[in-house]
Chain A
Amino acid sequence: MPPVIHLEGVTRVFNTGDNAVHALAGVDLDVHAGEMVAIMGASGSGKSTLMNILGCLDKPTAGRYILDGIEVSELGRNDLADLRSRKIGFVFQGFNLLARTTALENVELPLLYYRSGQFHGKESPAPAALRRVGLGERMHHVPSELSGGQQQRVAIARALVTNPSLILADEPTGNLDSRTSIEIMALFQELNDQGITILLVTHEHDIAEHAKRIIEMRDGRIVRDVPVTQRRIAADELAAAGRAA
């Protein structure tokens, strides 16, 4: 089976006045379906740029990016938008939900922009997505009525709702306390066990160890790419913490 993500010599150069900044200096990467990959690195290492390119928000200056069999490097703005709509679910550090908009409406948002008629005239998959992240009871709450962990669950439901090939999570636990972080990681692991490919950026080692594979970046290059030998299982951690309390 071909990889979900195939990067080949991807560079990204920003021209800031006189000097060019090489945010990515030649990245090769393959991510296969069902993987759960954590990308680590200090700020300025290029991991955000990599995420933007993987998320089809940005295009490489040079090199090839093939997402689920589609050559991204050559696409225009509209095609990139369609690709995001179809193939990718985003989860952000700051949740990025629309304020004063209910959880259900937030989750339904990607369906508005989904161009093929897959969800047209059928029962909305949004309630099911919310139930999947454990928020079946809070569909009609607005973000300000939800805790940080619950907001992130809404965001994950929103990422799931179009059934994407890939979920990209940018510091998904960055704004959460450690217990809630583990709960969110438990959700990611559960979704990954159901076959969803997940890529997450984090700078916390113990969060990264919930993934199956860790990639470390420095100066725009991948400097380490290793499988996690002693993977943390969030559900077990939560059970242990429950016993301790």
Chain B
Amino acid sequence: MKKRALFSIALRSILRNKMRTLLTMLGIVIGVAAVIVMVALGQGAQATIEAQIKGLGTNMLVIMAGSTTQGGVSQGAATFNRLTIADYEKLAREGTLLAAVSPVIFSRGQVIGGGTNWRASIMGVAPTYQQIRDWPAQSGSFFTEADTRSVRRVVVLGSTVANALFADSDPVGQQIQLRNVPFTVIGVLSAKGQTAGGSDQDDTVIIPYTTAQAHLAGRSFIGQIIANTFSPGDVPAAQEEIRSIMREAHKIAPGDADDFTIRNQDEIAAAASGTTRVMSMLLAAIASISLVVGGIGIMNIMLVSVTERTREIGIRMAIGARSSDVLAQFLVESIVISLAGGLIGIVLGYGSSILLARLTGWAVAMPPEAALIAVAFSAAVGVFFGFYPARKASALDPIQALRYE
């Protein structure tokens, strides 16, 4: 039997009962739309998080003290369980794949300036930090190698701190105090937004690490060393290189575990987006239950339709239709219904995703493959739930079917 004829037969019998077809489709329409909206929201959230992590800097590697190789429990020997300036200097000197290296000394403290004060995180870093984090200044500039060498008391403000202290005026050139030590503001960084974890990256002041060690005594060990590579492809090799340099610096015997951890951007991104991915998959799974319910609706109507059209089936068989022709006819009919429902559902799903984004400001991402999957899935629903009724139709005895009133 010709395929085009099969479709025109199916279309004709579908159009014959417009209202019923529409109601049958509704289950699939809602199911597909729900899946698409859920996927769009989930992917939107994931994309937002990934963009934020990319915003941390490109090709970035983070070296932290302590090994987390076994379930997060530090396995390292206690001797060198900290990062030191010597580590940083060795990495900067010997790392052939590293474009830039910077230590990061973390601290918190009161920032006094502009006639007010503000509590912010204080970071002591090398001038290369700006390049690694890909963090341009919005006014003034970052400190230089010379500033670091001379242990100058210069500071670059994050935009949150700049706004808190100097709401109306340009902070560059102003004096502020960090832990009662005076510093000169030489730059303000552009806004970077929140981290994946939700903390404000701009709520910080940045000073040379040498100054941090000299003037902000007490917490002078290095929290992290960050580095970046020349290209993303170098990341795995660079990770290995850092590892061997660090093992040498920490005098770790072969066979002993690392007492530090190196994480790259992908791992950080994966960890953060993993949670959202699970959430969005869960939502999509719940939404797809409505697709199954829609499929049952199709099966129900197709069973009614087979009973109603018993005589038609008998006629078709008498004039030469094989069982497989009848099977194909009803199967195509249920596939057409569910596919049409799927297509309407895609339009509805994308429409409501856009609407939702407009109304709530949530990020939505609409990957084209979601539509493809939705179409494939609704076709599969049509086949799966259409098969039983179609099978029933094809198994009818033509004599009985012709006699059916």
Contacts and interface: CB of A to CB of B under 8 A. Distances in A.
Interface of A: 52, 55, 57-58, 77-78, 81-82, 84-86, 90, 92, 96-98, 100-101, 109-110, 112-114, 158, 162
B402 A81 contact: no
Q: Which 10 A-B pairs have the closest CB atoms?
A: A85-B320, A113-B320, A81-B322, A110-B319, A113-B321, A84-B320, A96-B315, A78-B322, A112-B5, A57-B398
Interface in B278-319: 311-312, 314-319
Nearest to A168: B318
B1 interface: yes
A110 to B, nearest CB: 4
Contacts of A114: 320
B323 A57 contact: no
Interface string B372-405: 0000000000000000000000000011001000
Contacts of B93: none
Q: Per DSSP, are chain B's interface residues mostly helix, strand or loop, or mixed?
A: helix
Contacts of A113: 1, 316, 319-322, 325
Interface size on B, as a range, is: 20 to 34
Interface of B: 1-2, 5, 9, 12, 16, 311-312, 314-325, 398-399, 402
A109 B325 CA distance: 12
Contact of A84 (B2, B16, B318, B323): B318
Contacts of B317: 57, 81, 84
A77 B323 contact: yes
A55 B318 contact: yes
A120 B61 CA distance: 68
A52 B322 contact: no
Contacts of B399: 52, 57-58
A148 B311 CA distance: 18
A19 to B, nearest CB: 20
B245 to A, nearest CB: 76
B395 to A, nearest CB: 10
A96 B320 contact: no
Contacts of A84: 317-320
A112 B2 contact: yes
Most buried by A among B315, B323, B325, B402: B315
A90 B318 CA distance: 7
Given A58-B399, A98-B315, A78 B324 contact: yes
A84 B317 CA distance: 9
Contact of A81 (B5, B311, B312, B323): B323
B319 A100 contact: no
Contacts of A85: 319-321
